[in-house]
Amino acid sequence: MSKLKVGIIFGGVFEEHPVSVKSAQEVAKHLDADRYETYWIGITKSGDWRLCDGPAASWEDGAHRPVVLSPDRSVHGLLVLADGHYETIRLDVVLPVLHGKLGEDGATQGLLELSGIPYVGCDVQSSALCMDKSLAYTVVADAGIRTPTFWTLFPGDTVQTVGDPGVLPYPVFVKPARSGSSFGVSKVTSAAELDEAVATARQYDDKVLIEEGVVAEEIGCAILGNGSDLITGEVDHVALSHGFFKIHQEDAPETGSENATFIVPADIPAEARELVKAEAQRVYRALGCRGLARVDMFLKADGTVVLNEVNTLPGLTSYSRYPRMMAAAGISMTEFLDRAVALALEETAR
């Protein structure tokens, strides 16, 4: 049987570039070489697309050729440039191993839709919805799912736009509406800290959320599947020693978080785990997700589940939560990748 030709896109121009490279390195270790013929497409921090040998730490310095993903459906793949000419490589499927802006916000997905190539993960609409926390909260709340109370600052707005800062339910969290891995997030305990926190958030996005600090445990749920046929990994619990959870921002994240321990399966009652799974699936469907996503929730002391956020292309590094949750449910990284590719092809065949 001939191998599937898989294009794997990694890197990117925004702050999650290093995380994407590490995720791609983990994919390279576990993707079944007997089933797939891989084409590695690295996006440099300056936005150059390069066909390379893989996501080694020094991939940008190695041999490579300029490449683009053709939006022409008759090409159905890559245009590789060399000496003023180009050759085409037809792809069967694309696996975007991209995080954050222009990776999981619908931009790359739109290019893949134009190309006609099946791709792993959420479509344009659900990617864009999940990336914008204010839109995700609005859609999910309309479906009857609990969300934090939040206020939105649009470009040009000041903190006074949402009313008297002195009466906000402190502590609150100020965060970019469209960013990931807690970049630009601040915990604010008084009105005097708001302006600086908003300025920090606006380094990553000009649309900013002020969000109530939900007093609860942080719980995650990994989901894999399309439509009503969904698989959930074991629920995890982010147990904090101090501060708030900032993933991927430690100096050496491979050695562990500086303030968090990940407990999988979560050390919560069995009925609470099942409730979290059920609510996470409701969120996944309400936002139109497909393929995979990690749904992060808050579990309050009274058993109430509240949405935190949805990551449509969660980290796949050696220390990431999604693969750990799947592994705890008996699904290895290799099996997860096989299933994710199969789901992409299945969606296109409908």
Q: Which domain CATH number covers 62?
A: 3.40.50.20
Pick the last residue of a domain from 212, 234, 251. Answer: 212
Query: Which of the residues are catalytic?
Result: 16, 181, 320
Pick the last residue of a domain from 212, 227, 261. Answer: 212
- Same domain (yes/no): 250, 133: yes
Q: Are 75 and 69 in contact (CB under 8 A)?
A: no
Distance of CA 11 to the CA centre of its chain: 14
Q: Is 27 annotated as a binding residue?
A: no
Q: Is 19 annotated as a binding residue?
A: no
29: containing domain: 4-119
- Same domain (yes/no): 197, 261: no
Backbone angles phi and psi of 285, in degrees to 5: -70, -40
Q: Are 188 and 195 in contact (CB under 8 A)?
A: no
Q: Is 300 annotated as a binding residue?
A: no
Strands 150-153, 64-69: pairing is unpaired
- Same domain (yes/no): 237, 194: no
Number of domains making up the chain: 3
- Same domain (yes/no): 105, 221: no
- Same domain (yes/no): 25, 48: yes
Pick the last residue of a domain from 100, 119, 138. Answer: 119
Which residue reads 């469907």 in tokens?
Answer: 285
Q: Which sign does the torsion angle of CA 253, 256, 261, 265 carry?
A: positive
- Same domain (yes/no): 223, 317: yes
- Same domain (yes/no): 37, 156: no
Q: How far apart are CA 206 and CA 30, in angstroms?
A: 38
Three-class secondary structure of residue 182 per DSSP: coil
Residue type (1 letter), 167: V
pLDDT tens digits for the chain (350 residues)? 799 999 999 999 988 999 999 999 999 999 999 999 999 999 999 999 999 999 998 898 877 899 999 999 999 999 999 888 999 999 999 999 999 889 999 999 999 999 999 999 999 999 999 999 999 999 999 999 999 999 999 999 999 888 888 889 999 999 999 987 678 999 999 999 999 999 999 999 999 999 999 999 999 999 999 998 999 999 999 988 655 555 655 555 665 556 678 999 999 999 999 999 999 999 999 999 999 999 999 999 999 999 999 999 999 999 999 999 999 999 999 999 999 999 999 877 66
- Same domain (yes/no): 132, 260: yes
- Same domain (yes/no): 135, 246: yes
- Same domain (yes/no): 82, 221: no
- Same domain (yes/no): 30, 111: yes
Nearest-CA neighbor of 108 among 93, 126, 96, 92? 96
As separate numbers, helices (DSSP H) first and strands (DSSP E) second, the chain gives 8, 17
Q: Is 311 annotated as a binding residue?
A: yes
- What is the CATH classification number for the domain harbouring 249? 3.30.470.20
Q: Are 289 and 122 in contact (CB under 8 A)?
A: yes
- Same domain (yes/no): 292, 344: yes
Q: Is 218 annotated as a binding residue?
A: yes
Q: Is 175 annotated as a binding residue?
A: yes
